Structure 1
Amino acid sequence: MINYTVPSWVKEVNLPFKSYFEIPNPIFEDLNAALDRLQSTEPLITIIIAAYNEEVNILRCITSLSKTKCKLPFEILVVNNNSADHTQDTLNRIHVRQLFQPIQGCGPARQMAQENAKGKFILLADSDCLYPPEWMDEMMKVLQQPGVACVYGRYSFIPEPGYARWQLYMLEKMKDAIAGVRHLKRAYLNAFGISMGYVKAYGLKAGYIMHNTRGDDGRLAFDMMKYGSIEQVKSNNARPWTSPRTLDRDGSFYKAITNRITREAGRFFTLLKSEKPHDTKKSAN
């Protein structure tokens, strides 16, 4: 069952700072002590995070990952995707591997990261999301199964003014139901960088799109299907939590709901048949 209320761990890592200059040094010291204990120089898993103008969110994200309970060796690799704020200043004070990608877009950032990743497996995380302690473990349980090339998980929203938790809960239930339909023939449409994992060797063969457009994650998943299956991680212990700021584009919760229902209804029958092979590097969204 989806959490109807916000879990306590989310409240603990959802740090209250508004800007880089508000973050006190002890926050970095405690975080780095945890990261030094957890990260490995010989990781099996590389967690890739692309960050664009996320000077505080990236701190929250990595703080949540520092609470992980996974026993598998891992590293965190962050790509500063040409940020114009103080994202780099924040990263300079955190003990994670980091890169700078001047080409704008998640595709170029993630491509650079996977080329430099030490792990055999890649987990994608978004810089504005918070990850539960069991996230990595639950994702890897499915990703390490024979014949699996890629996995994806579900996610939940943190309430904000204008978006009550009960409303967001309803949206999540609808979203998960639609994902179930997509998974039958077009599972790659559910593969979002907020919670996605794959075998690095397959990701390198497929390659990310190298210009700034949305859907780089789903395109990669589509191209990896020739190497193995795409599987869903259904455990609620693997749900990242994020702000509903993507819903703000619609203007209100009501519009967000109606726009999504209209869009999914319009393409419902296309989801019941497989997508034909095509060039994902040139195709339109």
Structure 2
Amino acid sequence: MMTVFSNPRWLKQHDYPYTSIDEVPQSVFDEINERLDKRISTEPLVSIMVIAYNEEINVLRSISSLSCLDTKIPFEIVAVNNNSKDRTQETFDRLHVRTFFQPIQGCGPARQMAQEMAVGKYMLLADADCFYPVNWLDEMMKQLQQPGVVCVYGRYSFVANPELPRWQLTIHETLKDLVAEARHYKRPYLNAYGISMGYLREAGLKAGYMMHNRTWGEDGRICFDMMQYGRVVAMKTRSARAWTGTRTLMKDGTLWQALGKRVKKELNRAVSYLTPHPPHDTKTSED
């Protein structure tokens, strides 16, 4: 459940304090793998994609949370090491998930490989540095399996720390959710982030990811390209929000500086949300 003044208690189970794989006891891998062995299916309906670039410890936390999913829907986890320079591959090798290596740098090439290697009818995207609550898969699939739906996106919250209390982050998240509502009317793909997103694999393979390296946008671009095949919907269940750290948020300075920059950006393009984006080549365009 999203809380205003504290992080949800379930996060503590997966927030391992290690900084290197050498520090991780074998018992931690054993516990995660025991849960995975009970949940991973050889005939999955859903393939959860986890791509990682230099996420040696973060990906352990992410997959630990996915190993606790409470669902009767058969699923698999497809993990792709995107040419990491640290020991991400060693972490993957010690976990009971299907792993692949993509030497072409970029989220697009890594996610393209994941969807090509997947078995499930549906793809769910999970970031390597995020945490997922037990009902995340079921709530995403409730929306994705509706007639005519091709893509679903979820919402996310930030994990508080001593420098950034939950009440401040809640203000940011509330404003972010309001912007998402405005975007959804004509431009829902702007809300589609790899942190919490799902789609019909068949449509994803038709649309395809960009095969060059960009710092952002490959998830929204494939969503845009899939809109010709069906509707894009939102998963708004509060208890099913993904949780992530604040490292990307803090690239813009303090929380208030980051918030100010985002508010200014959204105000400048607010009018555009009232009209659909004209057709364009998402693989080469800058917007």
TM-score (norm 2): 0.98
Identify which range, 3-12 or 126-135, moves more after superposition: 3-12
The Cα shift of 1:16 comes to 1.3
The Cα shift of 1:248 comes to 1.7
Equivalent residues in 2 for 1:108-147, closer than 5 Å: 108-147=109-148
Give distance in 1, aligned partners of 2:3 and 2:191: 20
2:257 equivalent in structure 1: 255
1:220 equivalent in structure 2: 222
The Cα shift of 1:21 comes to 1.1
8 Å contact 2:2–2:8 — kept in the other structure?
no
Whichever residue aligns with residue 245 of structure 2, its letter is: S
* Other structure's SS at 2:174 match: helix
Give distance in 1, aligned partners of 2:164 and 2:252: 12
* Other structure's SS at 1:48 match: strand
1:13 equivalent in structure 2: 14
Structure 2 residue runs without a partner (length 5+)? none
Matched pairs, number: 285
2:102 equivalent in structure 1: 101
The Cα shift of 1:70 comes to 1.2
* Other structure's SS at 2:153 match: strand
2:272 equivalent in structure 1: 270
Whichever residue aligns with residue 35 of structure 1, its letter is: L
1:34 equivalent in structure 2: 35
Give distance in 1, aligned partners of 2:7 and 2:251: 23
Identify which range, 265-274 or 8-17, moves more after superposition: 8-17
The Cα shift of 1:6 comes to 1.0
Give distance in 2, aligned partners of 1:15 and 1:125: 18
Give distance in 2, aligned partners of 1:165 and 1:237: 16
Coordinate RMSD, CA, aligned: 0.9
- After superposition, the C-alpha distances for 1:180-200 in whole angstroms (9 at most, x for unaligned) are 000000000000000000000
Give distance in 2, aligned partners of 1:272 and 1:265: 13
8 Å contact 2:71–2:137 — kept in the other structure?
yes
The Cα shift of 1:251 comes to 1.3
Equivalent residues in 2 for 1:1-285, closer than 5 Å: 2-4=2-4, 5-213=6-214, 214-285=216-287
The Cα shift of 1:103 comes to 0.5
8 Å contact 1:44–1:119 — kept in the other structure?
yes
* Other structure's SS at 2:234 match: strand
- After superposition, the C-alpha distances for 1:228-282 in whole angstroms (9 at most, x for unaligned) are 0000001012201110111121011111010000000010001111000000011
Runs of 4 or more, structure 1, over 3 Å off, are none
8 Å contact 2:50–2:80 — kept in the other structure?
yes
* Other structure's SS at 1:258 match: helix
Give distance in 2, aligned partners of 1:12 and 1:88: 23
8 Å contact 1:138–1:237 — kept in the other structure?
no
Identity of matched residues, %: 55
Give distance in 2, aligned partners of 1:79 and 1:28: 18
8 Å contact 2:3–2:166 — kept in the other structure?
no
8 Å contact 1:193–1:217 — kept in the other structure?
yes
The Cα shift of 1:18 comes to 1.5
TM-score (norm 1): 0.98
The Cα shift of 1:8 comes to 1.0
The Cα shift of 1:13 comes to 1.3
The Cα shift of 1:50 comes to 0.8
* Other structure's SS at 2:44 match: coil
Give distance in 2, aligned partners of 1:180 and 1:49: 27
Give distance in 1, aligned partners of 2:124 and 2:49: 6
* Other structure's SS at 2:115 match: helix
8 Å contact 1:162–1:253 — kept in the other structure?
no
* Other structure's SS at 1:245 match: coil
* Other structure's SS at 2:232 match: strand
- After superposition, the C-alpha distances for 1:2-28 in whole angstroms (9 at most, x for unaligned) are 421211111221111111111000000
Give distance in 2, aligned partners of 1:249 and 1:256: 8
